[in-house]
């Protein structure tokens, strides 16, 4: 091999290495955007709306299940990070567009940590969902450190479910509403506890292990 070829080969390999490093760093350090709900007025209840979709439908992982957050301006943002004021009543609405199934652990079928220990499913209060009946549970919205857990009733898997986010209410959906009071300042992890990452070991890889899909942070500020 001539010197020119060696130089060219070395340059190409070096460039590939640099590119791989950049991609790796961007993926590792890249964080989804934060949707800010702190401008709705101090002391006033904060309304926040999320949607859960079976397939995000675009981007680098179109088949991944994902949450989205609706900004105060009404725009759907692909993120799981939102910022809210401390010691404030949070009124949460989650529109679930995904199907459901039995839970690996039915303990997650209980509503805990919400105001009154209840949530509303399409307007009807509930405390427990029997995941072995009906459409089962699709996902949960859980903040373990403050004891919040709300199961999201699933849609019929045979229905014509929404295939790409953001979904609209013209697709089959379930509306779950609940409230809780935000704790003191800090970053609180929240996530879905249903191992819903199809195709990954125990269903907890991929979107279940990637910020911006099925888990994120509730940033609480003063």
Q: Which residues contact other proteins by CB under 8 A?
A: 54, 98-107, 109-110, 112, 127-128, 130-136, 138, 144-145, 147, 149, 154, 156-158, 189, 191, 193-205, 208-210, 215
Q: Which is nearer to other proteins, 46 or 121 (CB)?
A: 121
Q: Which is nearer to other proteins, 47 or 112 (CB)?
A: 112
Q: Which is nearer to other proteins, 82 or 193 (CB)?
A: 193
Please state the closest distance from residue 106 (CB atom) to other proteins, in A: 5
Q: Which residue stretches of the chain are H helix?
A: 3-29
Q: Which is nearer to other proteins, 85 or 151 (CB)?
A: 151
Please state the closest distance from residue 152 (CB atom) to other proteins, in A: 11
Sequence-ordered list of residues with C-beta below 8 angstroms from that of 80, at least 6 positions apart, any chain: 32, 67, 69, 190, 211, 212, 213, 214, 215, 216, 217
Q: What are phi and psi of 203, to 5 degrees?
A: 70, 15
Contact of 12 with 59, CB cutoff 8 Å: no
Please state the closest distance from residue 171 (CB atom) to other proteins, in A: 15
Q: How buried is residue 11: exposed, middle or buried, by Cβ count under 10 Å (0-12/13-18/19+)?
A: exposed
Q: Which is nearer to other proteins, 84 or 108 (CB)?
A: 108
Please state the closest distance from residue 172 (CB atom) to other proteins, in A: 12
Please state the closest distance from residue 113 (CB atom) to other proteins, in A: 9
């Amino acid at each position: 091999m001539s010197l020119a070829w060696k130089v060219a080969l070395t340059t190409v390999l070096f460039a590939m290495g640099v590119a791989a490093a950049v991609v790796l760093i961007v993926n590792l350090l890249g964080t989804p955007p934060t949707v800010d709900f702190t401008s709705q007025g101090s002391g006033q209840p904060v309304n926040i709306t999320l949607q859960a979709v079976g397939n995000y439908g675009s981007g680098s992982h179109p088949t991944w299940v994902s949450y989205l957050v609706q900004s105060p301006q009404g725009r759907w943002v692909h993120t799981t990070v939102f910022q809210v004021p401390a010691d404030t009543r949070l009124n949460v609405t989650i529109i679930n567009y995904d199907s459901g199934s039995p839970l690996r652990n039915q303990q997650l079928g209980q509503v805990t940590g919400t105001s009154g220990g209840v949530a509303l499913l399409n307007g009807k209060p509930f405390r427990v969902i029997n995941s072995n009946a009906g459409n089962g549970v699709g996902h949960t919205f859980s903040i373990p450190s403050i004891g919040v857990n709300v199961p999201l009733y699933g849609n019929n898997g045979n229905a014509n479910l929404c295939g790409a986010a953001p979904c609209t209410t013209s697709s089959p959906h379930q509306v779950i509403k609940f409230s809780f009071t935000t704790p003191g300042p800090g970053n609180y992890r929240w996530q879905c506890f249903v191992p819903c990452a199809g195709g990954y070991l125990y269903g907890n890889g991929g979107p279940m292990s990637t910020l911006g899909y099925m888990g994120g942070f509730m940033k609480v500020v003063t």
